[in-house]
Amino acid sequence: MLQVRDLTLRYPNGKLALSRFNIAVSAGELVIVLGGNGSGKTTLLRCVTRTLMPTEGEVRVNGTDLAPLRGERLRRARLELAMISQHASLVRRRSVLANVATGALGRLGGAWTALGGLPTSELAAAHGHLAEVGLAHLAHQRAGTLSGGQAQRVAIARALAQRPRVLLADEPVASLDPEAAEEIMRLLRRLAAEENLAVLCVLHQVELAYKYADRVVGIREGVMAFDLPQAELSRETVRQLYLSEAA
Amino acid sequence: MSEATAPVAWDPRPPGGALAAAKRIGIGLILVLIIAQALIVVEARPQDLITGVHGMADIIRRAVPPDFSKFGSELWPALETIDIAIFGTVVGVILAIPLAVLAASNVSPSRPVYYVARSIIGFCRAVPDLVWALFFVTAVGLGPFPGGLALAVHSIGMLGRLFAETIEQMDMAPIDALALTGARRIQIFTHGVVPSVLPSLLGISLYRLDENIRSSLVLGFVGAGGIGFQLLTAMNLFQYQEVSLLLIITFVIVQAAERLSAILREKIS
């Protein structure tokens, strides 16, 4: 579903942020990327979403290469990719339901949505997505009143409203307490399986990677250090990843 | 493991030593000089206030009691004053919003557009509302309409800047998140930018209405309608009891507007 080939990003100052990075995530699979601070994890996701323009390489989503696309073609291709980040990034003064329904905006045209309206059918679908993340009872509450864990679940529901094939998550549990973090990871695990989503998740919590990942990818200084099924990932391999970062 | 650091003894002297003290004295002297030159330029003569006490007392004596028999006939100019402010604020808000969007660096479509919008806003603000009123009185004649136009144009300048700053200071994370869903620019604006900044814009607009009510009282002095025109006429005719009635009405309008604006702003926030 998601195929990244030889992805390279060199900044104008010559610094190599990603070097010939390869990764593939299939439908229904949850792949977790581990690595120290500044290792290139977030840069990888930003290149995949094309928020950053890679210097070389391919980012194929369902067969379409996003790397060379521009403008409207890029916008359309990006509809297949949904992204959640460390902070839920909800519009605080809007209702939870409206926030979720805005995930569908990319698929919707017309004057009504341009004027700030949302179709009833999308609001109903948004309610369904809220139910999927267990927050249907908060649909009409303001997003600004939610706890961190609830807000992150709403962000996931918004991503589902987009009807993506690939879900990218950039440290989605970084600002959550352990219980809320487990809840989010369980949810991502379930969505990968039930919605047949390809989930690529950047994490700092090694234990969560052991518990929830199908595969774990290590990244160090923009280069892939390992790509292993979770069952084959040894403690020593992970220790070496962070040790070499610290050195 | 944290690194061991050598203990630093506490020094009661302020940091920077003699140079910093000299700087502070220099700044103090500059402030004193600025205030002194202002006193000289405005020809401040406190003794004139003492010698003028008799004149002021005479005006106050002739102004009491207020002439309440004219209360009914002053209601229309009072309403006119409020309506000039409402017209000026509403038109100002309607025109300031699109200009502010173009003048906010984080959402403006391009740098040239940004500079043009900022220049228009700056010009509207730089010219005082009283000067705009003189201009519009010449253009469309005497009455409340030029007053409303003057406040509208000046409000574009004041509101445009504040609206643009509000948009620039908003949290961009929800906007970026919407962009990543594939939403179009106009959808990002109406679904992300507008709901994020609307309460602040409403609060600023209400504050502007409060300010415009005060300004519209003065605009009558140059023929732009409202209670100011009545005030000027009464003063020119030495009708001080009518002047005191008009001042009471003015006070009530300003206080009521201020209170109402504060209550509404509190509800919005």
Q: Which of A105, A112, A142 to mutate to test the interface with B (most CBs of B within 10 A)?
A: A105
Q: Does A82 touch chain B (CB under 8 A)?
A: yes
Of A78, A89, A116, the CB nearest to B173: A89
Residue A17 scores a pLDDT above 60: yes
pLDDT of the residue at B2 = 46
Chain B residue numbers with beta carbons less than 8 Å from the beta carbon of A115 are: 190
CB contact set of A162 (below 8 Å; sequence gap of 6+): A79, A82, A103, A104, A106, A107, B181, B182
Cα B117 versus chain centre, distance: 20
The answer to whether the CB of B241 falls within 8 A of the CB of B64 is yes
The per-residue pLDDT for range A144-162, each reduced to its tens digit, is 999 888 998 899 899 989 9
Bridge partner residues of A21 (DSSP)? A7
DSSP states along chain A: -EEEEEEEEE-TTS-EEEEEEEEEE-TT-EEEEE--TTSSHHHHHHHHTTSS--SEEEEEETTEE-TT--HHHHHHHHTTEEEE-SS----TTSBHHHHHHGGGGGG--SHHHHTT---HHHHHHHHHHHHHTT-GGGTTSBGGGS-HHHHHHHHHHHHHHT--SEEEEESTTTTS-HHHHHHHHHHHHHHHHHS--EEEEE-S-HHHHHHH-SEEEEEETTEEEEEEEGGG--HHHHHHHHHHHH-
My answer on whether omega of the bond before B77 falls inside 30° of 0, hence cis, is no
pLDDT of the residue at A246 = 55
Of B184, B186, B196, the CB nearest to A91: B196
Instruction: Kindly state the helix (H) or strand (E) to which residue B195 belongs, with its residue range.
Output: helix B194-219
Chain A residue with CA closest to B200: the answer is A93
The per-residue pLDDT for range B38-86, each reduced to its tens digit, is 999 988 888 888 888 888 888 888 888 888 888 888 889 899 999 999 9
pLDDT of the residue at B5 = 60
Pair of tokens at residue A243: 């040790």
**What's the number of CA atoms in the CB half-sphere (13 Å) around residue B121?**
25
The answer to whether the CB of B217 falls within 8 A of the CB of B250 is yes
Instruction: Say whether A106 and B183 touch across the interface (CB within 8 A).
Output: yes
Q: What is the mean pLDDT of residues B236-247?
A: 91
Chain B residue numbers with beta carbons less than 8 Å from the beta carbon of A114 are: 184, 186-187, 190
The per-residue pLDDT for range A48-93, each reduced to its tens digit, is 988 888 999 999 998 888 888 888 888 888 888 999 988 889 999 8
Chain A residue numbers with beta carbons less than 8 Å from the beta carbon of B187 are: 105, 108, 113-114
Q: Considering only CA atoms, which of A170, A179, A187, A186 is closest in space to residue A88? A: A170
Q: How far is A61 from chain B (nearest CA, A)?
A: 15
Instruction: Say whether B181 and A51 touch across the interface (CB within 8 A).
Output: no
The per-residue pLDDT for range B218-235, each reduced to its tens digit, is 888 887 778 888 888 898
Instruction: Say whether A51 and B191 touch across the interface (CB within 8 A).
Output: no
The per-residue pLDDT for range A26-35, each reduced to its tens digit, is 999 999 999 9
Measure CA of the first residue to CA of the last residue in chain A; give whole Å.
Answer: 36
CB contact set of B11 (below 8 Å; sequence gap of 6+): none
DSSP states along A48-98: HTTSS--SEEEEEETTEE-TT--HHHHHHHHTTEEEE-SS----TTSBHHH
Higher pLDDT: B9 or A170? It is A170
Instruction: Say whether B173 and A105 touch across the interface (CB within 8 A).
Output: no
| Residue B128, SS3 per DSSP | coil
Q: Does A103 touch chain B (CB under 8 A)?
A: yes
| Residue written as token pair 């194929």 | A60
Geometric angle at alpha carbon B129, from B125 and B130, rounded to 5°: 145
Orientation angle between helical segments B227-236 and B240-268, nearest 10 degrees = 160
The per-residue pLDDT for range B193-216, each reduced to its tens digit, is 999 998 889 989 998 998 999 888
Instruction: Say whether A162 and B192 touch across the interface (CB within 8 A).
Output: no
Of B181, B190, B199, the CB nearest to A114: B190
The answer to whether the CB of A84 falls within 8 A of the CB of A168 is yes
Of B173, B174, B182, the CB nearest to A106: B182
Q: Considering only CA atoms, which of A171, A168, A172 is closest in space to residue A192? A: A168
Q: How far is A123 from chain B (nearest CA, A)?
A: 14
Q: Does A51 touch chain B (CB under 8 A)?
A: yes
Count contacts between A and B (CB, < 8 Å): 77
Instruction: Say whether A105 and B191 touch across the interface (CB within 8 A).
Output: yes
Burial zone of B92 (CB within 10 Å; 0-12 exposed, 13-18 middle, 19+ buried): buried
Q: Considering only CA atoms, which of B194, B210, B195 is closest in space to residue B98? A: B194
Q: How far is B117 from chain A (nearest CA, A)?
A: 23
Instruction: Say whether A94 and B195 touch across the interface (CB within 8 A).
Output: yes
ipTM for this model:
0.84
The per-residue pLDDT for range B146-162, each reduced to its tens digit, is 999 999 999 999 999 99
pLDDT of the residue at B1 = 44
Q: Does A92 touch chain B (CB under 8 A)?
A: yes
Q: Which of B181, B196, B201 to mutate to test the interface with A (most CBs of A within 10 A)?
A: B181
| pTM check: above 0.80 | no
